[in-house]
C-alpha cells in the first residue's frame, strides 16, 4: 500500500470555497489565465500561513484587478478607494497597533492616483508592508497606459506607443522610495522563472517578518505578467519582463535594514477611564471665583454688554478681549468672544467683540452701538468710531493717537498704555494697563456701583491668576500694570 502526502498545495489562508465570488465558479480566482496576481496571492498566503499571523493580518486591497482579494483571503480584509490603501492602512495600524497591515497595490493605484498616500505612509515609517504589482498597464480597465508602461509600448490609451515627450518616462518606484530615510526594506523581484519566483518568495517572507516584528515600512515591487492585456503567450510574457521591463526596472535589493532595525514597541493603550480623562482634560478647580448664586449689584449688568477691542495685529488686542471674557466668566456671566478673522487675521488690523450677559447671548457680532471700545491704533479708532454712542466708554492709547469728533455723552479716557508698559519693562503688559484705566473710569463715573468697584480689581486678579497660574512673575507684572493704569487715570 502507498499513500500520498501533499508537498505543495492550496494554502489554508485561502477559503476552501470562494463563496463571496458571484457566479457559479467558486474554486478559481477571477484573474485571467497566466496573471501575476494569482502567483503573488499564493506567495502571500503561504507566507502568512508559515508565520502563523492569519489572525493578525489586515489586508488592504486596492482598486484594480486585486479589488476582490477578499473573495480569497481568509483574514481581515478591506477593499478601499483607488490609491488610498496606505492611508486606510495607516488608520488601521495606528488604532490597532497589534494588527499587521498589508497594502496590496497595482501600478495605477500606487504609482498614479495614490502615489501621495503611498510615499507619505512610507515617509512616516508606518508599520506596514506594501506589495506592488507592476505589470506595465492598467489591467482591470482594459490595458491602458500606466506610469510604469515602457517607452514605445502600445496600450489602449497609447495606440501609437508611449511617447515619452507626451507621457513621460516609466516611474521607478523602488528608486524613488529609496531616497527616503525611513523605509526598512526595498526590493524589486520578477514573477517569471521559477528561480525568480523563489527569490520573490524570500522577499515576501522578509517583508512579513518585518511586519510581524514591527520593524517598519517594507516594500516589495513585483514585475508581473498581464498576458491577456499585453496579448502575449506565457513564454513571451516572461521574456518581455526579463528582457524589456528589467532594463527600466532592474531587479534586486535596494535597501535591507531588516537585521539592524529594532522592533518598535507597541504604543501605550489609549486612556478612556473617566476619572483619568477628567484629570487630564478638565482644568483644576482653583480657589477663585464666586458662588454660583452670586450676582454683581451694578445696574449696568442687567442688560447685555457689548465690548469691542481693536488695534494692530500683534498688540495683544485679542488677548485683551479674552481677559475680559474670563473676568465675566468668573462672575457667572455668559460670554462670547469673536475675533475678526478674514484677511485681517494675517497681519494688519485686528479686533474682537466680547458680549457679556446673564442670559443666553444672541448675536455675537457687534456692528452697531457698543458699550465699550478699547482702541489702540488710529486706524482702529477711525474704523469703529461710529459704533461709539452717548453712554459708551472709549479707552484709547493717548501716547500715539488723536481723537476724531465724537458724539456728546461719550465717556472718553486716554491713557499712554504703551509708554507705561515699556517703563514696566514689558510692552506685552499694555493690556493690563488699559484694563486698569477701564477700572478707574468705571469707578469714577459710578458705572460700577457699591461692592462691584472693589470686585473689579479682584476679578481681574483672579483672571490673571487663572490665565498664568504656572508663571508667578507674569502674574505679578500684570497686577502691577493694572495698578499703574488705574493710577494714570486718577492722576
Residue numbers 372-431 binding another protein by CB under 8 A: none
Indicate the DSSP class of residue 108: H
- Rule CB under 8 A: which of 435-464 touch another protein? none
- List 179, 262, 278, 491, residue binding another protein (CB under 8 A): 278
Residue 227 CA to chain centroid, in angstroms?
Answer: 42
Q: In the window 144-203, what residues touch another protein (CB under 8 A)?
A: 193-194, 197-198, 201
Cβ at position 380, least distance to another protein in Å: 19
- Regarding 350 and contact with another protein (CB under 8 A), the answer is no
- DSSP structure class, residue 148: T
Sign of CA dihedral 112, 186, 239, 11: negative
For another protein, which is the closer residue by CB, 84 or 206? 84
369: contact with another protein by CB under 8 A: no
Q: Does 299 bind another protein (CB under 8 A)?
A: no
Give every CB contact of residue 108 below 8 A, 6+ residues apart in sequence.
64, 82, 138, 141, 144, 146, 147
- Neighbouring residues of 54: CB distance < 8 A, sequence distance ≥ 6: 12, 13, 48, 74, 75
At residue 340's C-alpha, the angle toward residues 335 and 345, to 5°, is: 135
> What whole-number distance in Å separates Cα of residue 311 and Cα of residue 346?
14
CB of 3 to another protein, least distance (A): 6
- Find the binder of another protein among 164, 182, 266, 365 (CB under 8 A): 365
Tell me whether residue 277 is exposed, middle or buried, using C-beta atoms within 10 angstroms of its C-beta: 0 to 12, 13 to 18, 19 or more.
exposed
Quick one: 9 or 405, whose CB is closer to another protein? 9
- Residue (365 or 454) nearer to another protein, CB: 365
Site for another protein in 110-129 (CB under 8 A): 116-117, 120, 124
- What is the per-residue binding string for another protein in 301-340, x denoting contact by CB under 8 A? ---------------------x--xx--x----xxxxxx-
286 is an interface residue for another protein by CB under 8 A: yes
Q: What is the closest distance, in whole angstroms, from the C-beta atom of residue 490 to another protein in the complex?
A: 31
Asked if 266 touches another protein (CB under 8 A), the answer is no
What SS3 state is found at 391?
A: strand
Q: Whole-angstrom Cα distance, residue 374 to residue 378?
A: 11
Q: Which is nearer to another protein, 56 or 214 (CB)?
A: 56
Binders of another protein in range 199-258 (CB under 8 A): 201, 227, 233-235, 238
- Residue 255 sits at φ, ψ, to 5 deg, of -160, 135
> Cell 514597541 belongs to which residue?
265
Q: Which stretch binds another protein (CB under 8 A): 90-98, 150-158, 172-180, 426-434?
A: 90-98
Distance of CA 279 to the CA centre of its chain: 25
Amino acid at each position: 500500500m502507498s499513500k500520498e502526502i501533499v508537498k505543495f498545495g492550496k494554502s489554508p489562508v485561502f477559503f476552501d470555497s470562494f463563496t463571496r465570488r458571484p457566479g457559479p465558479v467558486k474554486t478559481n480566482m477571477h484573474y485571467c489565465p497566466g496573471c501575476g496576481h494569482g502567483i503573488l496571492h499564493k506567495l502571500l498566503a503561504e507566507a502568512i500561513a508559515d508565520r502563523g499571523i492569519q489572525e493578525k493580518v489586515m489586508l488592504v486591497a486596492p482598486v484594480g484587478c486585486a479589488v476582490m482579494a477578499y473573495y480569497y483571503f481568509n483574514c481581515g480584509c478591506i477593499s478601499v478607494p483607488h490609491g488610498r490603501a496606505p492611508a486606510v492602512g495607516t488608520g488601521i495600524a495606528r488604532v490597532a497597533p497589534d494588527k499587521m497591515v498589508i497594502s496590496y497595490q497595482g501600478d495605477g493605484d500606487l504609482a498614479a492616483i495614490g502615489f501621495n498616500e503611498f510615499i507619505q505612509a512610507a515617509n512616516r515609517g508606518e508599520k506596514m508592508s506594501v506589495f506592488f504589482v507592476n505589470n506595465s498597464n492598467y489591467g482591470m480597465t482594459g490595458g491602458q497606459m500606466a506610469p510604469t508602461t515602457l517607452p514605445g509600448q502600445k496600450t489602449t490609451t497609447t495606440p501609437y506607443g508611449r511617447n515619452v515627450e507626451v507621457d513621460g518616462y516609466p516611474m521607478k518606484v523602488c528608486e524613488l522610495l529609496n531616497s527616503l530615510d525611513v523605509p526598512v526594506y526595498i526590493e524589486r523581484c520578477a514573477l517569471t522563472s521559477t528561480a525568480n519566483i523563489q527569490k520573490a518568495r524570500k522577499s515576501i517572507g522578509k517583508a512579513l517578518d518585518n511586519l510581524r516584528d514591527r520593524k517598519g515600512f517594507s516594500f516589495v515591487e513585483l514585475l508581473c505578467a498581464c498576458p491577456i492585456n499585453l496579448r502575449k503567450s506565457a513564454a513571451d510574457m516572461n521574456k518581455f519582463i526579463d528582457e524589456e521591463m528589467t532594463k527600466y526596472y532592474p531587479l534586486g535589493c535596494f535597501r535591507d535594514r531588516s537585521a539592524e532595525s529594532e522592533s518598535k514597541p507597541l504604543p501605550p493603550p489609549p486612556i478612556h477611564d473617566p476619572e483619568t480623562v477628567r484629570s487630564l482634560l478638565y482644568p483644576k478647580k482653583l480657589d477663585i471665583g464666586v458662588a454660583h448664586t452670586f450676582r454683581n449689584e451694578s445696574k449696568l449688568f442687567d442688560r447685555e454688554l457689548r465690548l469691542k477691542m481693536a488695534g494692530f495685529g500683534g498688540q495683544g488686542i485679542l488677548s485683551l478681549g479674552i481677559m475680559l471674557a474670563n473676568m465675566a466668566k468668573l462672575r457667572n456671566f455668559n460670554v462670547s468672544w469673536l475675533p475678526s478673522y478674514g484677511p485681517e487675521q494675517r497681519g494688519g488690523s485686528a479686533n474682537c467683540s466680547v458680549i457679556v450677559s446673564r442670559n443666553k447671548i444672541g448675536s455675537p457680532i457687534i456692528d452697531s452701538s457698543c458699550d465699550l471700545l478699547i482702541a489702540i491704533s488710529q486706524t482702529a479708532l477711525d474704523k469703529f468710531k461710529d459704533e461709539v454712542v452717548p453712554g459708551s466708554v472709549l479707552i484709547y492709547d493717548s501716547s500715539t493717537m488723536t481723537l476724531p469728533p465724537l458724539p456728546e455723552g461719550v465717556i472718553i479716557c486716554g491713557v499712554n498704555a504703551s509708554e507705561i508698559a515699556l517703563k514696566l519693562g514689558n510692552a506685552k503688559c499694555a493690556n493690563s494697563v488699559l484694563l486698569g484705566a477701564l477700572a478707574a473710569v468705571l469707578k469714577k463715573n459710578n458705572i460700577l456701583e457699591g461692592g462691584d468697584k472693589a470686585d473689579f480689581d479682584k476679578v481681574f486678579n483672579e483672571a490673571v491668576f487663572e490665565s498664568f497660574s504656572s508663571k508667578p512673575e507674569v502674574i505679578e507684572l500684570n497686577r502691577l500694570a493694572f495698578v499703574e493704569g488705574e493710577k494714570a487715570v486718577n492722576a
